[in-house]
Amino acid sequence: MVLAQASMETRLLLRNGEQLLLALVIPLIALVGGVTGAAALDLDLGHPPVDVLTPGVLALAVMSTAFTSLAIATGFERRYGLIKRLGASPLPRSGLLLGKTGALLLVEVAQLLVIGGVGLAMGWDPDPAGLPGVLAAVLAGTFAFASLGLLMAGALRAEATLAAANLVYLLLLAGGAVVLPATSYGGFGELVRWLPSGALGEAMRAATLRGAFPVTELLVLLAWGALGTVLTARTFRWE
């Protein structure tokens, strides 16, 4: 039942133009535009721009799917009574959540392959030793952002969720150290690295640039995920 639910959730997400915009189009524009702009402006990022921006855009893709897309989709499903009806079906509510999580992971695999492929075509040279760190960061980031997305979707009305999720996405994209390194934000960077966006972006860069296993950043993401899970369990309304 969980696999069937995950398959259905994946198909629904991929058929939605807005979700595809968040999942692939915006991250790809950020990658190509960022690398091109950094080269044209001769920005000094400490490494080739494509090596710095590609892991950040991969982190952005995880955030867009696990947080923004999940929050908006769940909010409207709750509004239309779909979640309540599924909760009364043979599919247990835990199965519904597991199905949504499985769909997120399937979409993220596609994102990593497409965005990573474009990055490689543009000259990205990741450290192979960082693969375990990348996988751990993606899983921890998905946990953190999915719990926060469900928290928002379960506590707010659908229209409010739509506005809030997009607003948070734009704020974190611009100032959350997800695409650009935290050092690019000056003294503010010491603060944003403790946000889930900053922790995920820094974890991806540490793994791909240095081949490191980002223990501190993973702990930050797990802490956010645990907090979001506890609050979601207490506040989520199924109808």
pLDDT on residue 124: 92
Of 141, 154, 28, the C-alpha closest to 83 is: 154
How far is the C-alpha of 103 from the C-alpha of 199, rounded, in Å? Answer: 23
Which two three-digit tokens encode residue 163? 């506005």
10-residue block means of pLDDT along the chain (239 residues)?
Answer: 78 69 82 82 76 93 90 81 67 70 85 92 92 94 92 87 90 88 83 93 94 94 93 77
pLDDT on residue 110: 87
Q: pTM of this prediction?
A: 0.89
- Full 3-state SS string of the chain: CHHHHHHHHHHHHHHCHHHHHHHHHHHHHHHHHHHHHHHHHCCCCCCCHHHHHHHHHHHHHHHHHHHHHHHHHHHHHHHCCHHHHHHCCCCCHHHHHHHHHHHHHHHHHHHHHHHHHHHHHCCCCCCHHHHHHHHHHHHHHHHHHHHHHHHHHHHCCHHHHHHHHHHHHHHHHHHCCCCCCHHHHHHHHHHHCCCHHHHHHHHHHHHHHHCCCCHHHHHHHHHHHHHHHHHHHHHCCCC
How far is the C-alpha of 199 from the C-alpha of 219, rounded, in Å? Answer: 9
- The total of other beta-carbon atoms located within 10 Å of residue 179's CB is 25
How far is the C-alpha of 64 from the C-alpha of 47, rounded, in Å? Answer: 25
- The total of other beta-carbon atoms located within 10 Å of residue 233's CB is 12
Domain-wise residue ranges, the chain: 2-235
Which two three-digit tokens encode residue 95? 């199965």
End-to-end alpha carbon distance in the chain: 22
> Do the beta carbons of residue 108 and residue 189 sit within 8 Å?
no
